[in-house]
C-alpha cells in the first residue's frame, strides 16, 4: 500500500476524532453567549461594600475577567489521568482563554520570551489527590514546545524526579533577607525562588479549608510563598490572604492560574481523604485569582449539594478573603462581572 493511501491505525483515528470534537466545542463556546457563574452556580454573591477600582497588576479596569472552565469526567474515569485528553483540553483551554489560534501563540500572549517562569504547585494532600505529576508534565511540555527552555522554568512543590526529567532550573529554597510589610496582617519574608522568577503560573488544587472555608488560587500564593504561614491563619486567614497576594512581589509577576480540579476535595480539607474527594475532571484557567476562586467556590458548593452536604457558608455569603482581595484591587469576585467560558464533552 502506498504512503498516500495508507489508513490511520485505530489509536490515530481516535486521537484525530477527539481533536476534531474539541475544535468543534471551542468554536461553539466562542460563538455562544458566555455563561455567567451566577447562572451556573445559583449563588447570589454581591459585595457588602464597593469593590476597589484602583488599578493593579492583576485587575484591569473596565474589563471583565475571563475564566475558562474545562469539565470532562473522562479526564479521570477511575484513578488514572488520561494524559492525551488532558493535553488536548489544556491546549484548547489556553487558546479559548487568549483568543489565539495556536497553543504557542497563546503562551506568548501570556508570557514574554525571556521570562523565568515559576510554576507554583501545592504539596498539601498532593499524594492522595495524585494528579499533580500528569498536569505538571503537560504544562512543562507545552511551555517547552512553545519556545521556553527548561532552564527558564522553575517547579515549586513538585517532584525532584520531574525536574530532573525535564532538566528545569532548581528552585532556591532559601528565604529572602528582606521582609515585606503586608499591612494589618503583619510582615514576613518570601521564598528566594520568587527572586529568580519574572513570571508566576499558579497551579493550585480546589479544596475546602477548615479555617479559610476554601483554598485555591489565592491561598496557594499567600501561604505557599512565605516563611511563616502559620502566623497568618488568624481570623480565617483574613486579611492576610488578600494583603499578601496584593503585595508587588506576587501581584506584578502572576500571569496565569491553572486550577487543578481533576480531583476536587469537597469536604474536611485541606488534607485529602479518599471519602472527601471526587473525580471532577475539571480545570479552571484565568489570570484573575479572585475570579477563579469565586467560580471554584461555587463548584465546591455544587459538588457538596450532590453529596447531600450543606453549603460552605450561609446563602449569599462568600469567603471573606475574596471580598478583601477584591477591595485591594487584586481581582473580581462578583460573579455577574465574570465571563465564564465553558469547554466540556
| pLDDT recorded at residue 59 | 53
95 in a structural domain: yes
15 in a structural domain: no
* 189, burial (CB in 10 Å: exposed 0-12, middle 13-18, buried 19+): middle
What are the respective helix, strand and coil percentages of the chain, to the nearest 5?
40, 20, 40
| pLDDT recorded at residue 78 | 80
21 in a structural domain: no
Set of cell numbers at residue 83: 494524559
* 86, burial (CB in 10 Å: exposed 0-12, middle 13-18, buried 19+): buried
29 in a structural domain: no
Set of cell numbers at residue 42: 445559583
| pLDDT recorded at residue 57 | 60
Set of cell numbers at residue 216: 485555591
| pLDDT recorded at residue 315 | 79
| pLDDT recorded at residue 302 | 97
Rounded to an integer, what distance in angstroms lies between the CA atom of residue 319 and that of residue 212?
7
* E strands in the chain: 66-71, 117-120, 153-156, 180-181, 187-188, 199-202, 205-209, 213-215, 254-265, 277-286, 339-344
276 φ, ψ to 5°? -110, 5
2 in a structural domain: no
| pLDDT recorded at residue 11 | 43
The domain tally of the chain equals 1
Tens digit of pLDDT at every position of the chain (345 positions):
333 333 444 444 444 445 544 444 444 443 332 333 333 233 333 333 333 333 456 654 447 999 999 999 999 998 899 999 999 999 999 999 999 999 999 999 999 999 999 999 999 999 999 999 999 999 999 999 999 999 999 999 998 899 999 999 999 999 999 999 999 999 999 999 999 999 999 999 999 999 999 999 999 999 999 999 999 999 999 999 999 999 999 999 999 999 999 999 999 999 988 999 999 999 999 999 999 999 999 999 999 999 999 999 987 799 999 999 999 999 999 989 999 999 998
CATH number at residue 331: 3.40.50
78 in a structural domain: yes
Rounded to an integer, what distance in angstroms lies between the CA atom of residue 228 and that of residue 230?
6
Domain range for 282 is: 35-344
240 in a structural domain: yes
Q: Are strands 153-156 and 117-120 parallel, antiparallel or unpaired?
A: parallel
4 in a structural domain: no
Amino acid at each position: 500500500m502506498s504512503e498516500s493511501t495508507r489508513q490511520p491505525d485505530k489509536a490515530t483515528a481516535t486521537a484525530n476524532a477527539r481533536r476534531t470534537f474539541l475544535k468543534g466545542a471551542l468554536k461553539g463556546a466562542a460563538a455562544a453567549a458566555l455563561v455567567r457563574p451566577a447562572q451556573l452556580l445559583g449563588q447570589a454573591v454581591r459585595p457588602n461594600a464597593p469593590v476597589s477600582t484602583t488599578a493593579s497588576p492583576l485587575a484591569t479596569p473596565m474589563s471583565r475577567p475571563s475564566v475558562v472552565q474545562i469539565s470532562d469526567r473522562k479526564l479521570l474515569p477511575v484513578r488514572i489521568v488520561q494524559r492525551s485528553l488532558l493535553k488536548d483540553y489544556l491546549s484548547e483551554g489556553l487558546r479559548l482563554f487568549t483568543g489565539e489560534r495556536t497553543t504557542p501563540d497563546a503562551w506568548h500572549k501570556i508570557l514574554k520570551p525571556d521570562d523565568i517562569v515559576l510554576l507554583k504547585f501545592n504539596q498539601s494532600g498532593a499524594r492522595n489527590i495524585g494528579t499533580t505529576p500528569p498536569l505538571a508534565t503537560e504544562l512543562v511540555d507545552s511551555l517547552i514546545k512553545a519556545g521556553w527552555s527548561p532552564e527558564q522554568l522553575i517547579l515549586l512543590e513538585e517532584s525532584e524526579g520531574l525536574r530532573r526529567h525535564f532538566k528545569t532550573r532548581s528552585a532556591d529554597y532559601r528565604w529572602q533577607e528582606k521582609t515585606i510589610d503586608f499591612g494589618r496582617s503583619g510582615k514576613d519574608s518570601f521564598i528566594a525562588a520568587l527572586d529568580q522568577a519574572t513570571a508566576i503560573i499558579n497551579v493550585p488544587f480546589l479544596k475546602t479549608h477548615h479555617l479559610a472555608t476554601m483554598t485555591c488560587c489565592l491561598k496557594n500564593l499567600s501561604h505557599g510563598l512565605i516563611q511563616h504561614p502559620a502566623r497568618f491563619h488568624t481570623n480565617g486567614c483574613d486579611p492576610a490572604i488578600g494583603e499578601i497576594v496584593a503585595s508587588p512581589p506576587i501581584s506584578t509577576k502572576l500571569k496565569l492560574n491553572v486550577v487543578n480540579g481533576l480531583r476536587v476535595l469537597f469536604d474536611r480539607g485541606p488534607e485529602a481523604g479518599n471519602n472527601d474527594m471526587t473525580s471532577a475532571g475539571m480545570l479552571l484557567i484565568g489570570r484573575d485569582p479572585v475570579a477563579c476562586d469565586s467560580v471554584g467556590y461555587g463548584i465546591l458548593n455544587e459538588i457538596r449539594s450532590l453529596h447531600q452536604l450543606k453549603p460552605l457558608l450561609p446563602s449569599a455569603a462568600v469567603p471573606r478573603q475574596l471580598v478583601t482581595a477584591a477591595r485591594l484591587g487584586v481581582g473580581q469576585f462578583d460573579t455577574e462581572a465574570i465571563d465564564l467560558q465553558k469547554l466540556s464533552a
